[in-house]
Structures are given as structure tokens and as C-alpha cells.
Structure 1
Amino acid sequence: MLHDAGLFLALVNPAIASLLALCFLFAWHHERTRPHLLQLGACYLLAAAAIGLQIAWPPRAGGGTATVAGALYLGSAVLMLRGMLARIGARPDRCAAVALPLALFGMVAWFDLAHPSLVARICILNVGVALILLTGVASLARLRTGRTVDRVLFWVYLVFTLQFLPRTLLALAPAAAHDAIVLPPAACWLWLQATLALLLLALGLALLAATAQDVIDDLRHERDTDPLTQLHSRRSLEALAARQIPPRPGESLSMLLCDLDFFKFINDNYGHSAGDAVLAQVGRVIAAGIRRRDIAARLGGEEFVVLLPDTPHEAALQLAGRLRETLEQTSMEALPGMRNVTASFGVATLRPGEDLEALLMRADHVLYAAKSNGRNCVEWEREAGLPALA
């Protein structure tokens, strides 16, 4: 009975690895901008080939099969490391990706072809794979503070990596008495096969879930981001403003509305491509001049808005003045001869009971006053009895 269960579990592992490999390759086929999916697919393919090779052609002393299987296992570990790091925009060092796997492969080949020893090969492969995967833990640690799916992925990866160490000890007991790769159908060997199957599946599912979340987040970012300026879109502004309005007791919420002066002149005389370049540069200036919690968006055309949580009217006026001066002094790369642009600003502060649309309407009226007063200036609601700070 143990033999049948062991054979079943041994066959399940390459089947799981092959299925996950196909899932990753299918995902990569539809998401070519994510090359780490190809690396992960290749990783699981090599793992399936290594396990299948050991089942179909059990290695014998000096036969070379263990060397080939060892190369497949080490290659799978390197691809797993590279795929995990590539997903977060990091790279493995050359020691982990090249030198260490080559050294481990040389030792496996030595203890297969020159001085056959199953015990040595088990130690080298299990500890070696763990060492390769552990070199990425420091870089992957940033996942612990990310989304839920990233935190789960990090811990599953860490458990998968560390299990190779106790696995070595459990595998050595029967291996010491039987110098063959196919160990006797003992309870510990069944446990090794079962845990490997579960961890292969858990890691693969965690990676696929993280990939699905990546795609969803990218689609959400594309929906909520203005492609030209990389600021928020109006839809995103409305969604984020709903979390800020009404503000918490004792806090003020202000808004800056900004409109570029004589932008039609730029489009008519320099072309729409130059106008787009100007808008993109203005977006960068605004993004660089505000706090991380502030919400900058492009409303359309040459009009921008900045929502300022926990910001009283006076502070909003000061920020508008700084942005106006920065824009006036910024050299526009797309405008030879003209070199710079100016903008008019309207500042308004949320009143009790108002929503985003009401605040936008009042800020727009103030902005119109700035346009009427000669442009390149900051206007505010004077009827509120506030001092002129800009």
C-alpha cells in the first residue's frame, strides 16, 4: 500500500509542475510585457522534467542520469529566483545566478560520475537549491509591506525555500542504507513527496494570484491615470475625493485649479505635439511641487486641479504661488524661442456641506477672475475676508 501511495505521489509532482508551467506560459503568451512569467514557466518545466527523469530512469552509480537531473533542478532554482526578482524589478547577483549553480553542478557530477554517492548528491542538491533561493530573500522582503497577495507570496516562497533544509535530513536516513535515487517506500519518503506536491502547488498558485493582481492593478492604473501627464484622471480624482470629503473634524480641505495661459497659441504655432510635450512637462512640475498625500489631476485640455487634504486656505495660497513661479521659470524643452509658459490659479476651500462638484465650481469662478485680471496670477475668494498671500 505504501508503495502504491509513493508511486502515486511521485507521479503527482511532475504533473503539478507541468500544469503550472503551462499556466505560466499561457499567461506569458497574453502578457508579453511580463517576461518573468516565461522564466517561471520554464522553471516549472525544468522541475517537471527533473522529477519525471528520476521516475522513468532511476539513476545508477556512474550512469550520468543524476547529473542531468541535478542540472535540471539547479536550472529550475535559478529560473525561480530570476522570475521572482524580475517581477519586482530586481536582478540576482552573478554569484547566485551563475557561479553558485555551476559550482553545485560540478559537485553533483563529481559524486555521480567520479565518486558515486547518493548521500552527497542529496546534500548538495537540497542545500544548494535552498542557498540559491535564499539569495533573493533580502530583495523580496519588500513584499512583506505590500498587498495581501504579495505578503502571502513572500511567506510561501520562504517556506518553500527553507523546507529543502529539513528535507535533506529526512531524505538522508533511507538514502544512507540504499544508494539509489528511488528510495524505499517509507513513511518519511511519502511525507517528502506529499509536502513537495503541496508546496509546488502553493507557490505556483501564489505566483499566479500575484500575477492576476498585477494585471488588475495595471488596468486600474491605466484607467485612473492621464496617459499624457501621468497625473490622476478626473474619474480617479472623484474616487479619491470621496475618501477626503467631508474632511475630519478640525481639518480643512482646499483646492487649486490651474489653467495654462495662451495654450491655443502654443498649439497653433508649435503644433499639437509640442503642446502635448508642454502638458507633460507641466504635469511633472506640479507632481514634483506637491506632497505625497495631495491629489493632482488633469481635468482636460490645459486645465489641472490639485486637491489638498488637511490644508487651510493660507497654505493653499502659498502653494499656488510657488507653483506659479516655478512654471514661469521653467524652460519648456518643446518651445524653442518661447521657452516658458505661465498659468493662472484659482484657490478655494471646502465649505461645510459641499461636495467635490461644488468646490470645483467655486474654484473655476475664481480661476476665471484670475484670467480676467491679466493671467499669470493667483486669485482667491476675497469675499471670505482672507488676506492676500499671493
Structure 2
Amino acid sequence: MLHDAGHFLALVNPAIALLLSLCFLLVWNHERARHYLLQVGACYLLYAIAIGLQIIWPPRNGGGNATVTGAFYLGSGVLLLRGMLARIGARSDRCTVVALPLILFGMLAWFDLVQPNLVARIYILNVGIALILLLGIAPLARLRTGRTVDRVLFWVFLVFALQFLPRTVLTLAPVGAHDAAVLTRTAYWLWLQATLALMLLTLALTLLAATAQDVIDRLRHERDTDPLTQLHTRRSLEALAAHHIPPRPGEKLSVLLCDLDFFKFINDNYGHSAGDAVLTQVGRIIAAGIRRRDIAARLGGEEFVVLLPDTPHDAALQLAERLRQTLEQTSIDVLPGMHTVTASFGVATLRPGEDLEALLMRADNVLYVAKNNGRNCVEWEREAGLPALA
């Protein structure tokens, strides 16, 4: 049992780090695809070991303590950077995660074992970790244009990296800073460790919040995305349409309904796996042929819909015809003997006071006419002999 109250209080720091490490490892165990959580968990574990060693194994010049703890600190910084970069799909620079830490470790060992110098070690360790983390700021800058939690995470990480620079000067401020054994027993050193623990806690909580948002966004995406075509589901379409209906004054909103021709024949003669492959390819064709603001969805079976904000009927007709031609000219490898599939299209434009359901019903009526007219064609209300727009 530790009788030194200062040492007892100092153990709170590694205890917090161990707890945070456990949190990251538990989250990673649930979300195995997010490997960055394992790296960040290991980062906090190494930090806990490093600070724990400093407390229970007081450093002394030439004793090798600083070399060992310095290795753990440097490894912690490298793992933190790798975890942050891995979360956004960026690769770690080999110089940053291998060469630079090795150089810093060699310098620490020199000023510990060969030419003991506490001041030099403090500069090397603090400035070195700051440099390692700051070298990742450029790729991490993309977080500034992301969600609120990502923007907060970027600035917390930047402040965390920068605080190692003034920390160097603050560590050397007390009179006993040139004696490692004396420094680690002062209340001032405990204050420095407490502030570092607070920064680590803030960074960890922000990163866990960002991870929670990632999971929520993934679940929302799975709910709102058709697994075969990667287009929106009907539920997602209705939610997004609420932002466009009614349209702004002076704007027109159109919709095109698409139904694959003879799809039952494909399923019956080539199998449902071939039918799924056809739906997947049709989804790609539709997604590639529309604008970013257009909303494409699979309503079910072989029926697709594209909601076209700020689009009059003539532009909607042109888009439907382009999609029809692209589909007709695209070879489908899973259909030997057929090679291609065709589709029928119905186009309608929103009327004043109308909702999405009514608009889709009118488009479905027009699509029915296209089917009766021989399929593989585009129909609009006027052409179909249905009530024309005012």
C-alpha cells in the first residue's frame, strides 16, 4: 500500500487511462470492423503503463527508467495518430509512425543512459509527441467540413497535440525540475499530470461520441438503403420528399416511375440470383444517370422511382428517355440469350396542393399506359391521354 498521498492521487491518472482503454476495447469488441478503436484503446493502455511506471518506479539519472517510460509514451502517441487516421480511412506515413519515433527513442536513451539530462528528455518527449500528432493534422483537416461531432473532434485533437509545447516549458518551471526524483514528487507535477488526464479524457469522450454517431449513421443508412440496388427505400424517399414538397415558388417538381419489362420471365427462366443481379445493375445505371440532388429509390420488386426537384416535365421526360436508352443498350452478362433488359417509364409533375402519394399514383397510371403501349417506352400524362397539367 502506498503511504505517500501524492503518489496515491497520481494513481488516479493511470486508473482513468485504463478505464478509457477498457471502454475502447469493449466498443471495438462490439464493432469489430472499426479497427481504429483497438488502436486507440492500446494508446490509452500504453499511456497508463507509462505514467504508472513513473509513479511506482521513480526515475533516476542513468537508471533506464526514462528510456522505458519514454518508449511507452512514444508508442501511445503513434497509436493515437494511427487510430485517428484509420477512422477517416487515411494511411499513416511511415516516417511519422516508424522513423521519427525511433529517432526520438534513441535520443531519449542517449540522454538517459549515456549523458543523463532531464531537461533534454523533457524537450525530446513533449516536442516529439507534439510533432508526431501534428504531422497528422493535414489529412485530419477533412473533419472540419463534416458533422458537428467531427468538427469538435478535430479541434480537440489539435488542442491536445499543441498543449505538449507549452507543457514543456511548464514542466521545467519548478526549481526542482532538473532532478527527476524530486520533480515527480511535487504537487506541481501532479497538477501537470491532472491536466494531461483531463485532455485525454476530453479526447476520449469526443472520439467515443463520434464513434456512436458513426454507428447511428450506419444503422440509418442500412434502414434507408435498399441492399440490392443501394438506392433509397420507400421510407427514405418519403422522408426526403417532405423537404421538397411543396416546392419553392416558381419551381416544378417531377417524378419518373420505372418498371422493368418481363422481369417475372427473368426470375422464372434464369433464377432469382440472376434477377437480383439485374436489379443491382439497374440501380447502378439509375444512380449514375441522375443529378446529386435527385432522389432515386426502389419501391419494391422491379419498380423504381426518381424524384426530381426543380425539374419541369420536359426535362423529366428527357432524363427518362436517356435512362431507357442506356438500359436498353447495356449488356447484362447474367442473361445469356437475352443480354439486355428494357423498362417502361411513367412521368408526372406535381400539381398545386398535391402530396407525394397522389403524385406517385398519377405516375403509376401513366406507367400502366406505357405497359399497354408495348413497353420499353416513356409516357407522360399528355401523351397518355390523361388529364394534362394546367
Question: What TM-score, normalized by structure 2, do the two folds share?
Answer: 0.95
2:258–2:305 Cα contact (<8 Å) kept: yes
Q: Which moved more, 1:41-50 or 1:60-69?
A: 60-69
Deviation at 1:10, TM superposition (A): 2.4
Q: Which moved more, 1:110-119 or 1:343-352?
A: 110-119
Question: What TM-score, normalized by structure 1, do the two folds share?
Answer: 0.95
Q: What SS does the aligned partner of 2:180 have? A: coil
- The equivalent residue for 1:339 is 339
- The equivalent residue for 1:275 is 275
- The equivalent residue for 2:146 is 146
Deviation at 1:335, TM superposition (A): 1.9
1:119–1:179 Cα contact (<8 Å) kept: no
Q: Counterparts of 1:340-379 in structure 2 under 5 Å? A: 340-379=340-379
Q: Does 1:108 align with 2:108?
A: yes
Deviation at 1:336, TM superposition (A): 2.6
Q: Counterparts of 1:99-178 in structure 2 under 5 Å? A: 99-174=99-174, 177-178=177-178
1:117–1:179 Cα contact (<8 Å) kept: no
1:31-74, Cα deviation, whole Å (9 max, x unpaired)? 11111111111110001000001001011112111111111111
Q: What SS does the aligned partner of 2:298 have? A: strand
Deviation at 1:191, TM superposition (A): 3.9
Q: Counterparts of 1:1-390 in structure 2 under 5 Å? A: 7=7, 10-174=10-174, 177-180=177-180, 183=183, 188-382=188-382, 383=386
1:55–1:182 Cα contact (<8 Å) kept: no
Aligned partners of 2:117 and 2:361: how far apart in 1?
80
2:171–2:177 Cα contact (<8 Å) kept: no
1:310-346, Cα deviation, whole Å (9 max, x unpaired)? 1111110111011111111111132233221111100
1:261-285, Cα deviation, whole Å (9 max, x unpaired)? 1111111111111110110011011
Q: What SS does the aligned partner of 2:11 have? A: helix
Q: Which moved more, 1:122-131 or 1:377-386?
A: 377-386
1:126–1:164 Cα contact (<8 Å) kept: yes
Aligned partners of 2:269 and 2:175: how far apart in 1?
81
1:143-169, Cα deviation, whole Å (9 max, x unpaired)? 111111111111100000000000011
Unaligned runs of 5+ in 1: none
1:9–1:193 Cα contact (<8 Å) kept: no
Aligned partners of 2:318 and 2:205: how far apart in 1?
51
1:252–1:311 Cα contact (<8 Å) kept: yes
Distance of aligned partners of 1:140 and 1:181 in 2 relative to their CA distance in 1, 3 Å threshold: farther
Identity %: 82
Aligned length: 384
Aligned partners of 2:156 and 2:333: how far apart in 1?
49
RMSD (Å), alpha carbons: 1.7
1:160-199, Cα deviation, whole Å (9 max, x unpaired)? 0000000011112337753215516667534422321210
2:177–2:183 Cα contact (<8 Å) kept: no
Aligned partners of 2:68 and 2:336: how far apart in 1?
63
1:255-312, Cα deviation, whole Å (9 max, x unpaired)? 0100111111111111111110110011011001101111000000110000011111
Which letter maps to 2:81? L
